[in-house]
Chain A
Amino acid sequence: MSEARTAPEENRPMIEMRNVQKWFGEFQVLKDVSLSVQRGERVVVCGPSGSGKSTMIRCINRLEEHQQGQIFVDGIELTDDIRHIEAIRREVGMVFQQFNLFPHLTVLDNLTLAPVWVRRMPKREAEELAMHYLERVHIAEQARKYPGQLSGGQQQRVAIARSLCMKPQIMLFDEPTSALDPEMIKEVLDVMVALAEEGMTMVVVTHEMGFARQVANQMVFMDHGEIVEIAPPSSFFTTPKSDRTRLFLSQILGH
């Protein structure tokens, strides 16, 4: 895999997308997307629905395939090579809008599955690790339950803990609070803020602008499959350069 690495270890970006293009049939969902995320950086992606933001972060762990351009994750290029894809997926955690916990396994088994089968960790060690992360997301007492017995907010926290058990370098969040009842959004955001404070590299697709202001280093605004604007939150929210950004911000912050 070393031949696919590009830059020296220290200063190369964790995620680098270069002129990425993607089509669904005739429809172009990603137009010339270029983005670079440094180690420890928190990037929040926002934009109207259908703007391609979910597709973009799903390209980072190859849940979606890009058709042109290049994507490097921790220096490894994403190609058809399944070994590269699996190596990257081991280092990249993902949290989904619909949680996607495994309903036939207990919370604990959801967490230990990947460490045991992918990292070859002994079962007992994996369970200790799982309990550690369950405590971190304040849900250790639910370890023996099945996902279906938990509330949405609890399920999403379990999903975050499940990703963390793989000790990922990068965490991707695809609208993690969009499927939650309002009273549960905070408990999930609190966990994400704590994660950000520890220096995790994060790419978050969300409409939670309060969260964005609090943790983001960079704001990315997407519309119609292209990145319209990239800016630090301070200038992004106060002096957006593009009219489209301004319109979008007025729509979601307006009321």
Chain B
Amino acid sequence: MNGAATRALDIGSSYRWARVNLFNSWFSALLTVAIVLALVRLVPPIINWAVLRASVNAPNIGVCHESGGACWAFITDWYRFLLFGRFPYDQQWRPAAVIVIFVALLLASCDRRLMGRGLAVLWILGLACVGVLMWGGVFGMPLVETDLWNGLPLTLILAVGGIALSFPLALLLALGRRSAMPAVRALSVGYIEIVRGLPFIVWLFMGVVMVPLFLPPNFFIPKLWRLEIVFILFIAAYVAEVVRGGLQAIPRGQFEASAALGLGYWRQMRLVVLPQALGISIPPLVGTFIGAFKDTALVTTVGFFDLLQDATVGMNDPTWRGAYVEAYAFVALIYFVFCYFMSRYSRYIETRLGKGRR
């Protein structure tokens, strides 16, 4: 086939493709035109601001403003504070290593050869390393108090700890809510409804500010762990409801068949019912977890320096005052990367579980 004919064919087939996909009715034609116009108006200015006229090496925000583009110089100057906050400057390799460990653990979770017990061991080892690195006090690393655990490591510790530890509690609550024992059922329902009935911020204040008032003075739990506990208890109520939805979708016959085989209640749940219930709950579960990840940003309200709070401090620095968009864009990118990972991960698990089942 010669070149001209190929081109003619290409034009012909792309014309047909466009007719089918972009202009198959007057409404879709209108939408296509509107979207193209919007893109033409929006994309070039954004590229212009973010790339073409951006300054990467400017000494302060004033110099940035002269070129009229994004002031990425703020990020290159401040990225260590944005990521690690007030963690002692010369020790910041430690939180950096913690971030690397978390990313490595998340990636390892995608490897199907590691699924199961091996992965659990890996996570426990990884989290132990995270603890040692953050605290220090051993292997010649100076001790760093939890108040100085700032930025991305704080966000990750809260989120991963919150999600992982809320899960077992949520399973118990979900099973409790469907229990045949009225007292267990009432307790579970009460817990779930009360926790969900108040905003997260209220629980944060209760946990961090009010709970210590009721504790004996020598009974001290560091603020970070009070916060983590509040977070776990809060997420658990939401996760429990998601799991209950999954449980309700399991046909009675599954309970009956496993009971008829002589399996006791806990084994019925663990071996037959929960694996199926959790399998169908993956999309809403991951939705809840993504929400929980982003909810960590609310800890700012009780005086914690998470990723978002670090950015707020940075953008108010006299040298860079006004670099709001740049700071928020940086933080948004980090949040997005983690949330997008979770979303993809759930798709991956779903396809794996779905294989051969239906």
A6 within 8 A of B: no
29 contacts between A and B (CB under 8 A): A63-B260, A86-B264, A89-B259, A89-B262, A90-B262, A93-B260, A94-B257, A94-B260, A98-B251, A100-B253, A100-B254, A102-B257, A103-B276, A104-B275, A104-B276, A104-B353, A113-B271, A113-B272, A114-B262, A117-B263, A117-B267, A117-B271, A118-B262, A118-B267, A145-B356, A148-B357, A162-B261, A163-B260, A163-B261
Contact yes or no, A166 B262, CB < 8 A:
yes
- Which among A61, A94, A149 is the interface contact of B356 at CB below 8 angstroms? A149
Near A by CB (< 8 A), chain B positions 246-304 give: 251, 253-254, 256-264, 267, 271-272, 275-276, 279
Residues of chain A from 52 to 82 with CB closer than 8 A to chain B in the complex: 61, 63, 82
Q: Identify the interface centre among B254, B259, B260, B275: most chain A CB within 10 Å of its CB.
A: B260
B residues lining the A interface (CB < 8 Å): 251, 253-254, 256-264, 267, 271-272, 275-276, 279, 353, 356-358
**Quick one: which of B256, B262, B263, B353 has the most chain A CB within 10 A?**
B262
Residue contact A100 to B264, C-beta cutoff 8 Å: no
Further contacts, 20 of them, CB under 8 A, given A98-B253, A100-B253, A146-B357: A63-B256, A63-B260, A89-B260, A96-B256, A100-B257, A101-B257, A102-B257, A104-B275, A104-B276, A104-B353, A113-B271, A113-B272, A114-B261, A114-B262, A117-B263, A117-B271, A118-B262, A148-B357, A148-B358, A159-B257
Give A165's nearest chain B residue, CB to CB: B261
Render A146-162 as a binary contact track against B, CB cut-off 8 A, 1 for contact: 10110000000001001
A92 and B260 form a contact (CB under 8 A) = yes
- Take A86-B262, A117-B267, A117-B271 as given contacts and tell me if A96 and B357 are in contact as well, using a CB distance cutoff of 8 Å: no
B-chain residues with CB within 8 Å of residue A96 when the two chains form the complex: 253, 256-257
Q: How far is the CB of B20 from chain A (nearest CB, A)?
A: 35
Pair A118/B261 contact, Cβ less than 8 Å: yes
Question: Nearest A residue to B258 by beta-carbon distance?
Answer: A102
Q: A100 and B256 in contact (CB under 8 A), knowing A113-B271, A146-B356?
A: yes
Chain B positions within 8 Å of A118 at CB level:
261-263, 267
Contact of A113 among B254, B260, B261 (CB under 8 A): B261
A96-B253, A96-B256, A117-B267 known; A166-B356 Cβ under 8 A: no
**A99→B60 CA distance, assembly (Å):** 73
A162 vs B258: C-alpha distance in the bound complex, in angstroms? 11
Number of interface residues of A (CB under 8 A): 28
Residues of A within 8 A of B264 (CB): 82, 86
In the bound complex, CA of A82 to CA of B271 (Å): 19
Contact A102 B263 (CB under 8 A): no
In the docked arrangement, what's the CA distance between A124 and B33, Å? 65
6 closest A-B pairs by CB: A100-B257, A100-B253, A114-B261, A90-B262, A94-B260, A89-B262
Bound complex: CA A117 to CA B272 (Å): 12
* Interface hub of A98, A114, A118, A145 (most chain B Cβ within 10 A): A114
How far is the CB of B310 from the nearest CB of chain A, in Å? 44
Q: List residues of chain B with CB within 8 A of the CB of A102.
A: 254, 257-258, 272, 276
Q: In the assembled complex, how far is the CB of residue B50 from the closest CB belonging to chain A, in whole angstroms?
A: 47
Residues of B within 8 A of A166 (CB): 261-262
A162–B272 Cα distance when bound, in Å, is 14
A104 vs B357: C-alpha distance in the bound complex, in angstroms? 7
Q: What is the bound-complex CA distance between A149 and B354, given in angstroms? A: 13
Q: Hey, which chain B residues are within 8 Å of A63, CB to CB? A: 256, 259-260
Q: Whole-angstrom distance between the alpha carbons of A82 and B264 in the complex?
A: 9
A11–chain B nearest beta-carbon distance, Å: 26
Q: Which residue of B lies closest to A58 (CB)?
A: B256
B182–chain A nearest beta-carbon distance, Å: 16
A92 surroundings in chain B (CB, below 8 A): 260
Q: How far is the CA of A98 from the CA of B260 in the complex (A)?
A: 14
Q: Are A103 and B262 in contact (CB under 8 A)?
A: no
Within the complex, what minimum Cβ distance (angstroms) separates B278 from chain A? Answer: 10
The residue among A90, A104, A118, A163 with the most chain B CB atoms within 10 A of its own CB is A104
A61 to B353, CA, bound (A): 33
What's the least CB distance linking B205 to chain A, in Å? 43
Q: Quick one: closest A residue to B268, CB to CB?
A: A117
| Chain A residues positioned under 8 Å from B251 (CB to CB) | 98, 100
User: Closest residue of chain B to A87, judged by CB?
Assistant: B262
Q: Give Cα A117–Cα B264 distance, bound, in whole angstroms.
A: 10
Which of A90, A93, A98, A102 has its CB near the most chain B CB atoms (within 10 A)?
A102
Q: Which residues of A contact B259 (CB under 8 A)?
A: 63, 89
Q: Could you tell me the distance between the alpha carbons of A145 and B356 in the complex, rounded to whole angstroms? A: 8
**With A146-B356, A149-B356 in contact, do A114 and B263 touch (Cβ < 8 Å)?**
yes
Centre residue among A96, A100, A149, A166 by max chain B CB count within 10 A? A100
